[in-house]
Amino acid sequence: MKFLKNPPRFLFFTGKGGVGKTSVACATALNLARDGRQVLLVSTDPASNVAQVFGMTIGNTVTPIDEVPGLFALEIDPEQAAAAYRERIIAPVRGLLPDDELAGIAEGLSGSCTTEIASFDEFTSLLADESVFGRYDHIVFDTAPTGHTIRLLRLPGTWTEFLDTGKGDPSCLGPLSGLDKHRSMYAAAVDALTDPALTRLILVSRPQTSSLAEIERTYLELNQIGISRGYVVINGVLPEAAGDEELTRAVRTREGAAMSAIPAAIAGLPRDVLELKATNMVGVPALQTLFAASGQAGIRDRKSLALDVIDAPLCALVDDLDLDDHGLVLCMGKGGVGKTTIAAAIAVALAKRGHAVHLTTTDPAAHLTETLHGSVPGLEVSRIDPVEAVRTYRDHVMATKGKNLDADGRAALAEDLLSPCTEEVAVFQQFSRVVHESRRKFVVVDTAPTGHTLLLLDATGSYHREMARQIEDSLSFTTPLMRLQDPDQTKVILVTLAETTPVLEAEILQEDLKRAGIQPWAWVVNSSIAAAQPESPFLRERAASELEQITRVRSLSGRVAILPLLPTEPIGEDRLAALTALSPQPV
């Protein structure tokens, strides 16, 4: 492995959920410990399954991995870190502000940015405190901090003055005054991150266009703060051991095309390719095989295995939607699970049944026009441009809140407006206009705002509370949030893959939405190998490993559709329509 040659002290693995970065990080830590090194494996991933990989309880304390002398693990709980961070911010004003204002501040500090910087606060000592962690030869991180977090901590110490003097409002990051005492340690940590002699960045991807585009985006963002070197690991490439049938030939063709068109910014980086394994990477014996070529070892005879995973085809969901003549359908989930395809298939099916349908996306990586590959009668297609939405929103904030700030204050405000939460709020403003159309037609949305964004807008007195204050009690009104909370008007469909991390991340998203009063309507398990009914022993072994996750999804929702992994990409009206006609029979 190129990324394992002459490894520095710190190794950071990053990539989209479900690409296998936890498996690669765990296998790396295992490999280093087997060479006689003292190794600490640290996860900062909210969907961490490091404990599951090693089959033991780890948690927020350094825990030895008994099977591997010299290997220790630590799981930083992002929610605990964020809760402690919020308490440091809120404690000084508790008793001074009304409860509803405190609740608004707390919700404002519950977003991804707050969790991110709170987690960074937790693991800063791992990078900079030699007195505590100097005993380890290597510290391996599963999930790296983003460029936004590091840029924020590099700003001049203007945040406290900027916020405490009333020049600006607390953001989703909150005032950093509670962290100022750690600023020298932050500086040391950031220096370590940007020193290639100390730190190595490993970008983990699947052999998929969207996954490769994501690590390019991450790499370019980290370039901006001085991390200019990296290694690429393309994980889960279908091996020759998978056999030769229509499905495997098609998958190899797709994977080859994606890797041939690898984005330019990362094309020249050192690259390793890891083959897909027949079994899940759980347990030390399995991890020891990750960096080896795939073979038939460990593949059991699964010919008699009943892959009866079909609760209902996608058409069953369309049948239920078809009972009405309008409504809002939100397809949500993490990147790379196929939200765009599912949204387009549902929209095409409804249009073919004679409904007026508006299909739109808020996903910057979505390509609805390419997916549809032409127009469909009765179907309107649009795109909410996040870049334009954010530019408009930032310009407005800088022209109003930033108008009377000095140079340092404007720099701090501009950096805050680079946060992921800014994009969520800006896109929501445009998304709200689309929501109102669902009163008279079907509106199908590919990617929607998270529960945190909805609560943030509501709790801080945005549209919902403004309407409630301004409209007389005798008058009725409906805000976008109220429409999303109404199950008769809005159907939320969570899209996932039959893999551990995507299912766990979708479960977290479901809980996030419930906090906002939104109950997901259905789940779709996309690209299931088990549902494809493969013939080769290798793929049937992979299919067997999906069954536990499909059972988990069934326990989370009473309405589930499962789509098989297809030999051909579902592009174009005919193939999309075929998705809602699929009804494979279990064997």
C-beta separation of 242 from 539 below 8 A: yes
Taking the C-alpha atoms of residue 481 and residue 458, their distance in angstroms, rounded to an integer, is 8
Question: For the CA atoms of the chain, what is the radius of gyration?
Answer: 24
Catalytic residue among 20, 70, 230, 451: 20
Is-catalytic flag, 22?
yes
Tokens 């906090």 correspond to 515
H or E stretch covering 428: helix 420-437
CA distance 157 to 460: 27
**Which CA distances in Å does 434 have to 147, 351, 516, 519?**
32, 18, 19, 20
3 in Cβ contact with 202 (< 8 Å): yes
DSSP codes joined into one string, 121-164: HHHHHHHH-HHHHTT-SEEEEESPPPHHHHHHHHS-S-HHHHHH
Amino acid symbol at 312: A
Tokens standing for residue 489: 């008007």
Could you tell me the strand order of the sheet in which 10-14 lies?
Answer: 63-64, 71-75, 39-43, 138-142, 10-14, 199-205, 231-237, 271-275
Residue 365, judged by CB atoms within 10 A of its CB (0-12, 13-18, 19+), counts as: middle
Long-range CB contacts (within 8 A, 24+) of 388-391? 389/423, 389/426, 389/427, 389/429, 389/430, 390/422, 390/423, 390/426, 390/427
Q: Shortest CA distance to 176 belongs to which of 194, 156, 206?
A: 156
21 included as an active-site residue: yes
Active-site pick, 110, 294, 462, 501? 501
Exactly one of 16, 21, 167, 334 is catalytic; name it. Answer: 21
Cα–Cα distance for residue pair 500/47, rounded to 1 Å: 9
Active site residue 501: yes
* Type and span of the H or E element at 70: none
Side-chain half-sphere CA neighbours of 66 within 13 A = 4
Give yes or no: 400 in active site.
no
Q: Beta-strand (E) ranges in 143-263?
A: 199-205, 231-237
Name every residue whose Cβ is closer than 8 Å to that of residue 294 and which is 6 or more positions away in sequence: 239, 240, 241, 242, 275, 276, 277, 278, 538
Please answer whether residues 170 and 90 qualify as being in contact, where contact means their C-beta atoms are separated by less than 8 angstroms: no
Q: Which of 14, 23, 209, 248 is catalytic?
A: 23
Q: What whole-number distance in Å separates Cα of residue 544 and Cα of residue 549?
A: 10
Q: Which of 522, 505, 492 is nearest to 311 (CA)?
A: 522
Cα(576)–Cα(587) distance, rounded to whole angstroms?
25
Give me the catalytic one of 16, 28, 43, 45.
Answer: 45
Residues 6+ apart with CB under 8 A from 516: 451, 452, 454, 455, 458, 481, 484, 485
| Residue 450 φ then ψ, to 5° | -75, 165
- Among residues 15, 18, 336, 338, the one annotated as catalytic is 18
Distance CA 566, CA 555 (A): 26
Indicate which residues carry an active-site annotation.
18, 20-23, 45, 501
